[in-house]
Structure 1
Amino acid sequence: AQCAVQAQAALVDGSYDWLSAKETDLFDLLEVDTEPSGLQIPVRTLIKGDMTCQAIAAASILAKVERDGIMTAAAQTHPHYGWEVNKGYATASHRAAITEHGPCALHRMSWRLTSETKKTESEAMGSGKD
Protein backbone atom coordinates (compact mmCIF):
# COMPACT_ATOMS: atom_id res chain seq x y z
CA ALA A 1 0.00 0.00 0.00
CA GLN A 2 2.94 2.35 0.62
CA CYS A 3 4.76 1.67 -2.65
CA ALA A 4 4.85 4.30 -5.37
CA VAL A 5 4.00 1.59 -7.89
CA GLN A 6 0.59 -0.04 -7.61
CA ALA A 7 0.72 -3.83 -7.72
CA GLN A 8 -1.54 -5.45 -10.28
CA ALA A 9 -1.41 -8.92 -8.72
CA ALA A 10 0.17 -10.80 -5.81
CA LEU A 11 1.93 -14.15 -5.79
CA VAL A 12 1.83 -16.30 -2.65
CA ASP A 13 4.12 -19.23 -1.94
CA GLY A 14 1.89 -22.14 -0.93
CA SER A 15 -1.67 -23.22 -1.45
CA TYR A 16 -3.59 -20.86 0.84
CA ASP A 17 -4.61 -17.34 -0.14
CA TRP A 18 -4.41 -15.36 3.09
CA LEU A 19 -4.05 -12.00 1.33
CA SER A 20 -7.32 -11.55 -0.53
CA ALA A 21 -10.13 -9.53 0.93
CA LYS A 22 -12.75 -11.79 2.41
CA GLU A 23 -16.23 -11.86 1.01
CA THR A 24 -18.51 -9.31 2.65
CA ASP A 25 -21.32 -10.84 4.67
CA LEU A 26 -24.41 -9.43 6.38
CA PHE A 27 -22.56 -8.82 9.67
CA ASP A 28 -19.89 -6.78 7.89
CA LEU A 29 -22.58 -4.44 6.62
CA LEU A 30 -23.58 -3.68 10.24
CA GLU A 31 -20.04 -2.66 11.23
CA VAL A 32 -19.28 1.04 11.35
CA ASP A 33 -15.83 2.56 10.89
CA THR A 34 -14.16 -0.65 9.77
CA GLU A 35 -11.29 -0.44 7.36
CA PRO A 36 -11.45 -2.88 4.45
CA SER A 37 -8.88 -5.59 4.95
CA GLY A 38 -7.14 -7.73 2.40
CA LEU A 39 -5.92 -7.08 -1.10
CA GLN A 40 -8.29 -5.89 -3.77
CA ILE A 41 -6.10 -7.29 -6.58
CA PRO A 42 -5.85 -10.82 -7.96
CA VAL A 43 -3.88 -13.24 -5.76
CA ARG A 44 -2.31 -16.38 -7.20
CA THR A 45 -1.00 -19.17 -5.00
CA LEU A 46 1.96 -21.24 -6.17
CA ILE A 47 2.91 -24.39 -4.31
CA LYS A 48 6.73 -24.37 -3.98
CA GLY A 49 6.64 -20.95 -5.62
CA ASP A 50 10.07 -20.11 -4.21
CA MET A 51 11.51 -22.78 -6.53
CA THR A 52 9.86 -21.49 -9.69
CA CYS A 53 9.45 -17.73 -9.24
CA GLN A 54 12.36 -15.35 -8.61
CA ALA A 55 10.12 -12.74 -6.96
CA ILE A 56 8.81 -15.28 -4.44
CA ALA A 57 12.33 -16.62 -3.83
CA ALA A 58 13.62 -13.10 -3.14
CA ALA A 59 10.68 -12.32 -0.84
CA SER A 60 11.32 -15.59 0.98
CA ILE A 61 14.92 -14.58 1.68
CA LEU A 62 13.85 -11.14 2.94
CA ALA A 63 11.19 -12.73 5.16
CA LYS A 64 13.69 -15.24 6.58
CA VAL A 65 16.19 -12.50 7.44
CA GLU A 66 13.43 -10.47 9.12
CA ARG A 67 12.15 -13.50 11.05
CA ASP A 68 15.66 -14.43 12.19
CA GLY A 69 16.03 -10.92 13.62
CA ILE A 70 12.71 -11.22 15.41
CA MET A 71 13.72 -14.59 16.88
CA THR A 72 17.09 -13.24 18.04
CA ALA A 73 15.34 -10.34 19.77
CA ALA A 74 12.77 -12.71 21.33
CA ALA A 75 15.65 -14.77 22.75
CA GLN A 76 16.34 -11.87 25.12
CA THR A 77 13.01 -12.39 26.89
CA HIS A 78 12.83 -16.18 26.41
CA PRO A 79 16.46 -17.37 26.78
CA HIS A 80 15.74 -21.02 27.56
CA TYR A 81 14.47 -21.76 23.99
CA GLY A 82 17.80 -20.93 22.32
CA TRP A 83 16.19 -18.82 19.61
CA GLU A 84 19.37 -16.80 19.07
CA VAL A 85 20.87 -20.02 17.69
CA ASN A 86 17.99 -22.15 16.33
CA LYS A 87 15.75 -19.26 15.17
CA GLY A 88 12.71 -21.28 16.24
CA TYR A 89 13.43 -24.37 14.17
CA ALA A 90 12.71 -27.68 15.85
CA THR A 91 16.20 -28.63 16.97
CA ALA A 92 16.54 -31.30 19.66
CA SER A 93 17.51 -28.65 22.24
CA HIS A 94 14.55 -26.46 21.30
CA ARG A 95 12.11 -29.37 21.62
CA ALA A 96 13.68 -30.27 24.97
CA ALA A 97 13.19 -26.70 26.19
CA ILE A 98 9.53 -26.79 25.17
CA THR A 99 9.09 -30.07 27.01
CA GLU A 100 10.78 -28.64 30.12
CA HIS A 101 9.33 -25.10 30.13
CA GLY A 102 6.22 -25.49 27.99
CA PRO A 103 5.45 -23.33 24.97
CA CYS A 104 5.13 -19.56 25.27
CA ALA A 105 2.81 -17.14 23.45
CA LEU A 106 5.30 -16.88 20.56
CA HIS A 107 5.10 -20.58 19.69
CA ARG A 108 2.88 -21.69 16.84
CA MET A 109 0.35 -23.76 18.75
CA SER A 110 -1.01 -25.33 15.56
CA TRP A 111 2.31 -27.15 15.09
CA ARG A 112 3.40 -30.31 16.87
CA LEU A 113 5.93 -28.69 19.16
CA THR A 114 7.66 -31.72 20.65
CA SER A 115 8.70 -35.10 19.30
CA GLU A 116 6.36 -36.75 21.76
CA THR A 117 3.12 -37.89 20.20
CA LYS A 118 0.02 -37.90 22.33
CA LYS A 119 -2.12 -40.98 22.14
CA THR A 120 -5.81 -40.61 21.68
CA GLU A 121 -8.01 -41.82 24.51
CA SER A 122 -8.99 -44.93 22.53
CA GLU A 123 -5.31 -45.78 21.88
CA ALA A 124 -4.46 -45.32 25.55
CA MET A 125 -7.37 -47.54 26.62
CA GLY A 126 -6.64 -50.18 24.00
CA SER A 127 -8.89 -51.11 21.14
CA GLY A 128 -10.20 -54.22 22.86
CA LYS A 129 -9.10 -56.35 19.91
CA ASP A 130 -6.34 -58.89 20.44
Structure 2
Amino acid sequence: MSEHSPSRRAGENAVSKVQDRPPGSGSDGAANDSGGTPRVEHVQKEWEHRNFYVPAELDGALEATRAQMAEAVQREYGGDMAVTRHFYPVMIRLGLEAIGDLSAAEFAEQVDEVPGVSSDEFER
Protein backbone atom coordinates (compact mmCIF):
# COMPACT_ATOMS: atom_id res chain seq x y z
CA MET A 1 0.00 0.00 0.00
CA SER A 2 1.35 3.44 -0.82
CA GLU A 3 1.55 6.27 1.73
CA HIS A 4 -1.51 8.52 1.88
CA SER A 5 -2.01 11.70 3.85
CA PRO A 6 -4.35 11.31 6.83
CA SER A 7 -6.87 13.92 5.68
CA ARG A 8 -10.32 13.87 7.24
CA ARG A 9 -13.56 14.56 5.43
CA ALA A 10 -14.70 18.14 5.66
CA GLY A 11 -18.21 18.88 6.87
CA GLU A 12 -20.77 17.05 8.91
CA ASN A 13 -21.08 13.31 9.21
CA ALA A 14 -24.00 12.26 6.98
CA VAL A 15 -25.27 9.90 9.68
CA SER A 16 -25.78 12.78 12.11
CA LYS A 17 -28.12 14.37 9.57
CA VAL A 18 -30.33 11.26 9.70
CA GLN A 19 -30.33 11.25 13.50
CA ASP A 20 -31.08 14.99 13.75
CA ARG A 21 -34.12 14.85 11.48
CA PRO A 22 -37.08 16.61 13.13
CA PRO A 23 -39.98 14.49 14.44
CA GLY A 24 -42.80 14.09 11.96
CA SER A 25 -40.50 14.47 8.95
CA GLY A 26 -41.54 11.11 7.48
CA SER A 27 -44.20 10.25 4.93
CA ASP A 28 -47.39 9.89 6.97
CA GLY A 29 -46.80 12.03 10.08
CA ALA A 30 -47.68 9.24 12.55
CA ALA A 31 -45.16 9.11 15.40
CA ASN A 32 -43.45 5.88 16.40
CA ASP A 33 -43.44 4.43 19.92
CA SER A 34 -40.37 6.49 20.91
CA GLY A 35 -42.10 9.75 19.94
CA GLY A 36 -39.65 10.44 17.10
CA THR A 37 -40.06 9.90 13.41
CA PRO A 38 -43.09 8.15 11.93
CA ARG A 39 -43.20 4.36 12.08
CA VAL A 40 -42.48 2.68 8.77
CA GLU A 41 -45.18 0.12 8.02
CA HIS A 42 -43.57 -1.74 5.09
CA VAL A 43 -39.81 -1.36 4.84
CA GLN A 44 -39.73 -3.21 1.52
CA LYS A 45 -42.08 -0.59 0.02
CA GLU A 46 -40.92 2.55 1.83
CA TRP A 47 -37.12 2.17 2.07
CA GLU A 48 -34.41 2.09 -0.56
CA HIS A 49 -33.05 -1.28 -1.64
CA ARG A 50 -29.34 -2.23 -1.87
CA ASN A 51 -27.61 -5.48 -2.77
CA PHE A 52 -24.00 -6.04 -1.79
CA TYR A 53 -21.43 -8.80 -1.75
CA VAL A 54 -19.18 -9.78 1.16
CA PRO A 55 -16.41 -12.35 1.53
CA ALA A 56 -17.38 -15.58 3.29
CA GLU A 57 -15.39 -14.59 6.39
CA LEU A 58 -17.36 -11.38 6.82
CA ASP A 59 -20.63 -13.11 6.00
CA GLY A 60 -19.98 -15.67 8.73
CA ALA A 61 -19.20 -12.91 11.23
CA LEU A 62 -22.30 -11.00 10.12
CA GLU A 63 -24.53 -14.03 10.60
CA ALA A 64 -23.00 -14.84 14.00
CA THR A 65 -23.47 -11.25 15.18
CA ARG A 66 -27.06 -11.20 13.90
CA ALA A 67 -27.85 -14.46 15.70
CA GLN A 68 -26.27 -13.26 18.95
CA MET A 69 -28.25 -10.01 18.87
CA ALA A 70 -31.47 -11.84 17.99
CA GLU A 71 -30.97 -14.08 21.04
CA ALA A 72 -30.20 -11.08 23.27
CA VAL A 73 -33.29 -9.20 22.05
CA GLN A 74 -35.44 -12.29 22.59
CA ARG A 75 -34.06 -12.75 26.11
CA GLU A 76 -34.33 -9.11 27.16
CA TYR A 77 -37.48 -8.00 25.33
CA GLY A 78 -39.32 -11.28 24.78
CA GLY A 79 -39.81 -10.55 21.09
CA ASP A 80 -38.17 -11.10 17.76
CA MET A 81 -35.77 -8.77 16.00
CA ALA A 82 -36.56 -8.38 12.30
CA VAL A 83 -33.34 -8.56 10.28
CA THR A 84 -34.42 -6.15 7.52
CA ARG A 85 -36.31 -3.75 9.78
CA HIS A 86 -34.02 -3.69 12.83
CA PHE A 87 -30.63 -5.36 12.40
CA TYR A 88 -29.47 -4.14 8.98
CA PRO A 89 -30.33 -0.46 9.53
CA VAL A 90 -28.48 -0.41 12.88
CA MET A 91 -25.51 -2.26 11.40
CA ILE A 92 -25.31 0.20 8.51
CA ARG A 93 -25.81 3.28 10.70
CA LEU A 94 -23.04 2.18 13.09
CA GLY A 95 -20.77 1.32 10.17
CA LEU A 96 -21.36 4.69 8.55
CA GLU A 97 -20.55 6.45 11.81
CA ALA A 98 -17.29 4.52 12.10
CA ILE A 99 -16.30 5.10 8.46
CA GLY A 100 -17.15 8.79 8.76
CA ASP A 101 -14.52 9.11 11.48
CA LEU A 102 -11.72 7.59 9.34
CA SER A 103 -9.12 9.42 7.32
CA ALA A 104 -8.48 8.16 3.80
CA ALA A 105 -5.34 6.39 5.04
CA GLU A 106 -7.26 4.73 7.88
CA PHE A 107 -9.95 3.66 5.41
CA ALA A 108 -7.27 2.14 3.15
CA GLU A 109 -5.90 0.21 6.12
CA GLN A 110 -9.39 -1.21 6.74
CA VAL A 111 -9.76 -2.16 3.06
CA ASP A 112 -6.49 -4.07 3.34
CA GLU A 113 -8.04 -6.14 6.17
CA VAL A 114 -10.84 -7.41 3.89
CA PRO A 115 -9.95 -10.83 2.44
CA GLY A 116 -9.31 -10.75 -1.30
CA VAL A 117 -9.11 -6.98 -1.84
CA SER A 118 -6.43 -4.32 -1.44
CA SER A 119 -6.23 -0.55 -1.28
CA ASP A 120 -3.64 -0.89 -4.08
CA GLU A 121 -6.69 -1.51 -6.32
CA PHE A 122 -7.96 2.06 -5.84
CA GLU A 123 -8.25 3.54 -9.32
CA ARG A 124 -5.94 6.41 -10.11
Q: TM-score, normalised by structure 2?
A: 0.27
Pick 1 or 2: higher relative contact order, CA cutoff 8 A, min separation 6. Answer: 2
Question: Bigger radius of gyration, 1 or 2?
Answer: 1
Q: TM-score, normalised by structure 1?
A: 0.26
Structure having the larger proportion of residues in helix: 2
